[in-house]
Amino acid sequence: MRSISIFGATGSIGENTFDLIVRAGGADTFRTVALTGGRNVARLAEMARVLRAEIAVCADETCLPALRDALAGTGTLVAAGDAAIAEAADRPATWVMSAIVGAAGLVPGLRALRHGSTLALANKESLVTAGPLLMATAAQHGARILPVDSEHSAIFQGLVGEDIASVERIILTASGGALRDWPLEALAAATVTEALAHPNWAMGQRITIDSASMFNKALEVIETREYFGVRPDQIEVIIHPESLIHSMVGFRDGAIMAHMGAADMRHPIGYALNWPDRAHIPVARLDLAQISTLTFRAPDLARYPALRLCREVMATRGLAGAAFNAAKEVALNHFLGGGIGFMDMAGVVEDTLAGLSSDMRLHSDVLSLDDIIGADHLARIRAGEAACALAARRP
């Protein structure tokens, strides 16, 4: 029996993963080792009962008594807190879904790789903050990382049987997010609710806002560089409002392989779950005659400063990815809290990177987890200061 764990089981990716596991036979087909969540104890406990998980862990320690009550008599162990989530990753499982949102996903993913698990990686933040460390850890322990981000799954599938040396360019598609058709001058006043109205994808709250600002695409550009090892100048971004082509690989003979399918994360999750096989996945089938047209347009960098900032991060390398991601997470928190405006998020990240460029070992290429966590903490402090300064200047 295959053993699995899901980190971030109660989120959007976690729910889709749970759905596929249940459809594939649930506890009769898989031995579930660990399920983790944040605060939604009722849902976590329900999932643990259905899959007869060995351990269920919630991030919020105050939720532990409720989790214990909800799973009393089931035989599922319970625990809480960041350390307990990391320890849950030390329980060996063959296939581990990394679907915690944010930098908090890094340590459990690294621990799973150290046990040689196949890591289905939705948590792109770990590659952005610690790409070289993550890839080296996988290589050292004979573990495999399978991309779950729809773009990276598409690229991965486009590269099956190909030599990476024959790749000329990688074209990441972007929906453009909820505000893509707004006039540029209106963006500064966009509210959280408006930025959450994503045209094509149903996702967690944070990544949905990051789609509107294209910080999500900026993270994905860096993710592409770290995962596939291509040069930054080989990575392009194109707005494709229909979200039916999930990304493309261009080869040196001029061919472009495009990956198409419904905008449903169960496809890339299911591909990673069944890899190298393909199994039946219950996503909608495309009716091309009905769709009739696919459109593309170049992104405007004035509208999406994140796309410019990610280029600076890739040029700097070292700890810049950790600082970029941490500053972005803080800026997003301040936008969600109403303290800063939509376009201020990029300002916070830019100020943070500029402020740290002189006093961090940004250029070092050999990075330890301690260095990365240190840069993340420092960037969070600086970004908090930058956000408060911007908030104070708001009318």
Catalog residues that contact ligand NAD under the rule CB under 6 A. 8-14, 37-38, 59, 85, 99-102, 104, 122-125, 149, 201, 203-204, 206-207, 265
Task: Check the CA dihedral 204-208-209-211 and report its sign.
Answer: positive
**In terms of CB distance, is 13 or 314 closer to Mg ion?**
13
d(CA 223, CA 353): 18
**In terms of CB distance, is 151 or 350 closer to Mg ion?**
151
What, of ligand NAD, Mg ion, none, does residue 99 touch, CB below 5 to 8 Å by kind? ligand NAD
d(CA 283, CA 294): 20
Residues 6+ apart with CB under 8 A from 385: none
Pair 86, 108: CB distance under 8 Å: yes
Distances (CA, A) of 257 to 159, 218, 242: 9, 22, 18
What, of Mg ion, ligand NAD, none, does residue 317 touch, CB below 5 to 8 Å by kind? none
Write out the two tokens for 110. 């690294």
**In terms of CB distance, is 118 or 390 closer to ligand NAD?**
118
At residue 195, φ and ψ (nearest 5 deg) are -70, -20
Least CB distance to ligand NAD at residue 252 (A): 29
**In terms of CB distance, is 124 or 259 closer to ligand NAD?**
124
What, of Mg ion, ligand NAD, none, does residue 339 touch, CB below 5 to 8 Å by kind? none
Residue 284: CB atoms within 10 A of its CB come to: 10
**In terms of CB distance, is 47 or 360 closer to ligand NAD?**
47
Least CB distance to ligand NAD at residue 346 (A): 18
Cis peptide preceding 276, ω within 30 of 0: yes
**In terms of CB distance, is 53 or 172 closer to Mg ion?**
172
120 has which bridge partners?
Answer: 97, 146
**In terms of CB distance, is 124 or 334 closer to Mg ion?**
124
Region 142-161 residues binding Mg ion, contact defined as CB under 5 A = 149-151
Quick one: 302 exposed, middle or buried, by C-beta within 10 A (0-12, 13-18, 19+)? exposed
Pair 34, 91: CB distance under 8 Å: yes
Closest residue to ligand NAD in the complex (CB): 11
Residues 6+ apart with CB under 8 A from 374: none
**In terms of CB distance, is 243 or 352 closer to Mg ion?**
243
Least CB distance to ligand NAD at residue 360 (A): 23
For residue 210, the 8-state DSSP code is: H
Least CB distance to Mg ion at residue 271 (A): 14
Closest residue to Mg ion in the complex (CB): 149
Least CB distance to ligand NAD at residue 36 (A): 6
Least CB distance to ligand NAD at residue 73 (A): 24
Least CB distance to ligand NAD at residue 99 (A): 5
> Tokens 């879904």 sit at which residue?
97
What, of ligand NAD, Mg ion, none, does residue 122 touch, CB below 5 to 8 Å by kind? ligand NAD
355, amino acid identity: G
What, of ligand NAD, Mg ion, none, does residue 38 touch, CB below 5 to 8 Å by kind? ligand NAD
Least CB distance to ligand NAD at residue 57 (A): 9
Over the window 95 to 134, marking each residue x when it contacts Mg ion by CB under 5 A and - when it does not, the resulting string is ----------------------------------------
Q: What is the DSSP string of 299-355?
A: PPTTT-HHHHHHHHHHHH-TTHHHHHHHHHHHHHHHHHTTSS-TTHHHHHHHHHHHH
Binding stretches for Mg ion (CB under 5 A): 149-151
